[in-house]
């Protein structure tokens, strides 16, 4: 557990350091190239992990997996959506985030595969699966709608795009003050650093939950198979939160919604520790969904890649 905690800490630190570079490269190279690079790096990490026999090699392979996801996979979809959608960006983001929630449904399958074929063969299959899915997914992504002769939200003319953008801003509960910042301008604002500190604090509890939930369930006498089902239930429940609050984000203040969901998450994690309950199921899905929306409110769309 200690080794896993250290690996997870290194992965989070790596994500924070790589994010600005990933955003810069996304803006200049586009989603296809960095998506392919990220896919190959992460898949290589999975394949390397099948050969580990020591902690240093484990950390190396784990960081390769994390680097690939941070560099070319994690933020690419959000950045592309930010370029393609304006008026219904919250709902579009929610649709993309549903994939993260649905991913938990394979936890029982992974347990079965590990029990029958061993963890090395399961990791090998995961790496191959990542290549099979990640390469085509990267190739079909288009950086901006203008690259295909289109405009955001599927509108026909630039005038219509401007009209929809104006309607979206006037309907915003944040005062309609969405402004396009460059990365340099964004980091010079108080709002940027307030978000950075706020989401960093919010991630403390969430990260601990991700690392220790399975050990906590097993220490309570719950089998690995049943614990995997619990994790599946949590992630599937989060799908409803992602979809529902993606819709609400387009109608209500993103600032207040973010504050409320982080508060709910904090209460849920506290109750998890004290009472071993699960009231955090829906709220755990919300801060990851709101984060890119708030970034867009204070930065350029290319910053989503970070």
pLDDT per position as a tens digit, 19-77: 778 778 888 888 899 899 999 999 999 999 999 888 889 889 988 998 888 776 667 88
Lowest mean pLDDT among 87-96, 170-179, 192-201: 170-179
pLDDT at 104: 73
Q: Which range is most confident: 35-39, 101-105, 167-171, 180-184?
A: 35-39
> How far apart (Å, rounded) are the C-alpha atoms in residues 272 and 216?
10
User: For residues 186 and 15, what is the distance between their CA atoms, to the nearest angstrom?
Assistant: 19
Report CA dihedral (278, 282, 287, 290) to the nearest 10 degrees: 180
pLDDT in tens, 255-306: 777 777 777 777 777 776 665 544 444 444 444 544 555 455 545 554 555 5
Q: Is the pLDDT of residue 175 over 60?
A: no
The torsion angles phi and psi of 281, rounded to 5 degrees, stand at -55, -55
pLDDT tens, position by position, 190-237 = 887 887 787 777 666 677 777 777 777 777 777 777 877 877 777 777
Domains in the chain (CATH in brackets) are: 2-305 (1.20.1250.20)
| Distance from C-alpha of 170 to C-alpha of 177, rounded to nearest angstrom | 9
Structure confidence at residue 136 as a pLDDT band (50, 70, 90):
very high
Residue 290: per-residue pLDDT? 46
Top mean-pLDDT range of 44-48, 138-142, 156-160:
44-48
Q: What is the dihedral of CA 116, 118, 122, 125, to 10 degrees?
A: -90
Greatest mean pLDDT among 5-19, 171-185, 267-281 lies in: 5-19
């Amino acid at each position: 557990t200690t080794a896993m905690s250290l690996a997870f800490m290194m992965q989070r630190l790596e994500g924070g350091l790589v994010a600005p570079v990933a955003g810069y490269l996304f803006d200049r190279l586009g989603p296809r190239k960095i998506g392919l690079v990220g896919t190959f790096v992460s898949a290589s990490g999975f394949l390397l992990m099948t050969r580990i026999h020591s902690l240093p090699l484990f950390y190396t392979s784990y960081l390769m997996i994390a680097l690939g996801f941070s560099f070319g996979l994690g933020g690419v979809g959000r950045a592309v959506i930010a370029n393609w959608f304006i008026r219904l960006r919250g709902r579009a983001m929610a649709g993309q985030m549903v994939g993260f929630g649905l991913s938990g449904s394979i936890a029982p399958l992974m347990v079965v595969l590990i029990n029958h074929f061993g963890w090395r063969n399961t990791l090998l299959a995961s790496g191959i699966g990542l290549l099979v899915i990640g390469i085509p997914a990267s190739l079909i992504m288009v950086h901006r709608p203008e690259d295909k002769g289109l405009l955001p939200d599927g509108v026909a003319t630039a005038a219509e795009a401007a009209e929809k953008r104006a309607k979206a801003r006037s309907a915003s509960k944040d005062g309609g003050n969405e402004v396009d910042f460059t990365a340099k301008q964004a980091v010079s604002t108080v709002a940027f650093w307030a978000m950075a500190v706020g989401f960093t604090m919010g991630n403390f509890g969430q990260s601990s939950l991700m690392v220790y939930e399975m050990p906590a369930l097993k220490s309570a006498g719950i089998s690995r198979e049943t614990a995997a089902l619990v994790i599946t239930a949590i992630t599937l429940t989060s799908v409803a939160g992602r979809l529902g609050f993606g819709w609400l984000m387009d109608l209500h203040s993103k600032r207040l919604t973010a504050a409320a969901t982080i508060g709910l998450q904090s209460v849920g994690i506290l109750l998890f520790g004290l009472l071993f309950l699960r009231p955090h199921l829906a709220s755990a899905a919300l801060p990851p969904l709101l984060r890119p929306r708030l970034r867009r409110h204070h930065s350029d769309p290319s910053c989503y890649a970070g």
